[in-house]
Amino acid sequence: MRIYLIRHGETEWNTRHLLQGATDIPLNQNGVEVARITAEALKDVPFDVVFTSPLKRAYETAEIMRRDRDIPLIPDERLKEICFGVYEGLCCGKDGWNIPDPAFQNFFTDPAHYMPPEGGETIAELCVRATDFLTELIDDPEYRDKTVLVSGHGALVKGLLSSLLITDQADFWRGGVHKNCAVSIIDVEKGKARVTQENVIYYDKARSTNYLE
C-alpha cells in the first residue's frame, strides 16, 4: 500500500492568519490553482480511492486531485482539522493577534503543554482519531495493494504522521507546519508503515502561505 497525504489548498482565512479548525471555509482562487498544479504533477499516480475530511477546503482539494479518475471519494469525520472551539475566527498572526489567552501560543511553541479553549480539542485527542483512521486503513485487506490519497489539514496531517515519526507530544511540530497542498507519502509493506516523503510541494513556493491552518 502507498498512502499519499495532502494538506488542503489555501483559503482566505489562511492569508489572514485566522484560526480555522472545524470552521468550514472554502478554498480561495490561489488554493484552487495550486491544487490543480499539484494534481497535474501527480496525474500519473494510480490512485484507487480518495479519503477526505468533510470540510470544504479539504473536500474541494480532494475533488481537484481526483481529476477524471473513476474512483471513490470518501469523507471521514476523523480527518477533520483540530477544533479550536470559541477561538475559531480569531487571529494568531503576530501583527494581528487577538486571542485573549496568551498561553494559547503553546499550541505552536510548546504543544506538550497546550490547553484548548472552551469547546476545543487537545492535540492528544486529534492524534487518537488520526491514528485510529490510519491504523484502520493499513489493516483493511481491501486496500492492502492499493494507492490511496488522503486529503486533510495542517495539524491533522501531523497527527496522521505522529504515530510513525514522534514519541513525545513536545515534538508534534518537528519539521514544521506543512505547506498548502504539500504531499507526504507513507509506504506500507507487510503491515509496517514508514514515511518516505514529507511536505513536498509541486508549485512555486512564493505562492505558499506558511501558516498552520
Distance CA 122, CA 159 (A): 11
Cβ atoms 12, 28 nearer than 8 A: yes
Rounded-to-integer distance, Cα 44 and Cα 41, Å: 8
11 in a labelled binding site: yes
Q: What is the DSSP letter of 178?
A: P
Query: Is residue 13 marked as binding?
Result: yes
12 is in an annotated binding site: yes
Amino acid at 50: V
Active site residue 178: no
Q: Is 153 a catalytic residue?
A: no
Catalytic residue among 8, 17, 153, 178: 8
User: How far apart, in whole angstroms, are the C-alpha atoms of residue 93 and residue 97?
Assistant: 5
Residue 9 is assigned to a ligand binding site? yes
The CA-based angle 131-137-143, given to 5 degrees, is 160
Q: How far apart are CA 106 and CA 159, in angstroms?
A: 17
**Residue 121 counted as an annotated binding residue:** no
Contact 53, 149 (CB under 8 A): no
Give the active site residue among 17, 60, 81, 178.
Answer: 81
* Residue 57 is assigned to a ligand binding site: yes
H helix runs in the chain, sequence order: 12-15, 29-41, 56-66, 106-109, 123-139, 154-165
Could you list the residues known to form a binding site for substrate, using ranges: 7-14, 57
Catalytic residues: 8, 81
Could you list the residues known to form a binding site, using ranges: 7-14, 57
